Structure 1
């Protein structure tokens, strides 16, 4: 039987309550900062996703897939359109309204939190979630790069966010190379 690692609700995110594979690769302090919007679990969507994922691990049945958990959460709990998860071309993003992009950005945060959350809880992630995370990183990067180039009101945190995306993507890839299933 697998050993799962769950955070103490009163203590919050901690290395001590994280799987050793996650701790080995998620060395930056931001991974354990619930107030860091650019971390997998520090924003509202990521934090909620981690809590829901912990509950899913505690209640799941044999054969349950994290991708199904994620889609159900996005559609049934949040009321979002899961077809966004299939968007992979930048041109598809460029025709979306700002409101659509904002909501869809929350979906990307949930995807990224699910990938990191699986490693944090179980020390491994489903391949489908890892593919979804690759697409989420690509979409987030595209939007941040566009935000740096806006003539009117460029996003002042875009470069910081892009750097963070690079770190997270590299750390997730290192974990995946070690423990993908």
Structure 2
């Protein structure tokens, strides 16, 4: 359950919302119209979680916060808690609604969007950058991250012909692997953070997964097929 509250007086205008269910809750708070700070807390039982959530809500109301039934949860930026990491409650509602498999919150599986070191670092970098630049151009970000921050060469997917990929990999396999992992992590990251996806980045993300499968030489795995299907079926153009 999500509930949002607003505090406003002559000196300040703040928001605070909580999303609680099961054995954990997330809170997001800060100056109104800011991204704010995200926190996650978990408990041994659902009863304890509910008790602590209601206690926090009561505390906010005593301080003068007023519930806002029309709070816009959709047009917001969502960033994981630094202390907790990947979590559905600190992901955009469109992401959690569409990407339901556990793999999207897996931080150890190399194939998962954010499971590899490259994928995890990409998401961390995206979240850090978007705090400074809410109008971040996600489409150009893979090239920027690879070349500006990591000092490697970004290799876009220009062909999925196995022979062409094999020939290029003989010279630049590491750069290609890094490029592919960062590209599809950025595509998923854009949705996780903003609830939107650039059509071009959708296309590039799918191609990156397919080329990585060619690089690894085992064909598309179950996880890779799942990611491709989910990326392609994500609604493009939502406001």
Shorter-normalised TM range: 0.7 to 0.9
Partner of 2:190 in structure 1? 118
**Residue 135 (str. 1) matches residue 194 (str. 2):** no
**What is the aligned partner in structure 2 of residue 165 from structure 1?**
224
Q: 1:126 to 1:74 in 2, by over 3 A?
A: same
Q: Which has the larger radius of gyration?
A: 2
**C-alpha separation in 2, matches of 1:14 and 1:101:** 32
**Corresponding residue number in structure 2 for 1:73:** 145
Q: In structure 2, what is the equivalent of residue 47 of structure 1?
A: 120
Partner of 2:86: 13
Number of residues of Structure 1 aligned to a counterpart in Structure 2 = 165
Give me the TM-score of the superposition, normalised by structure 1.
Answer: 0.81
Which residue, 102, 124, 129 being the options, matches 2:174? 102
TM-score normalised according to structure 2 size: 0.63
Q: 1:51 to 1:88 in 2, by over 3 A?
A: same
Q: Secondary structure at the match of 1:6?
A: coil
- The C-alpha deviation readout for 1:71-99, integer Å capped at 9, x for no partner, is 111111112222x2142242321213456
- Conserved 8 A contact 1:56-1:69: no
Gaps of 5+ in 2: 1-32, 34-74
Q: Displacement of 1:100 after TM fit?
A: 2.0
Q: Which of the two has greater helix per residue? A: 1
Ranked by relative contact order (alpha carbons within 8 Å, sequence separation 6 or more), the top structure is: 1
Q: CA RMSD in A?
A: 2.1
Moved over 4 A (4+): 178-181
Contact map agreement 1:87 1:93 (CA 8 A) in 2: no
Give the SS at the match of 1:42: coil
- Structure 1, unmatched stretches of 5+, are 149-157
Question: CA-to-partner distance for each residue in 1:101-126, whole Å, 9 max, x for gaps?
Answer: 23311210100110000110100112
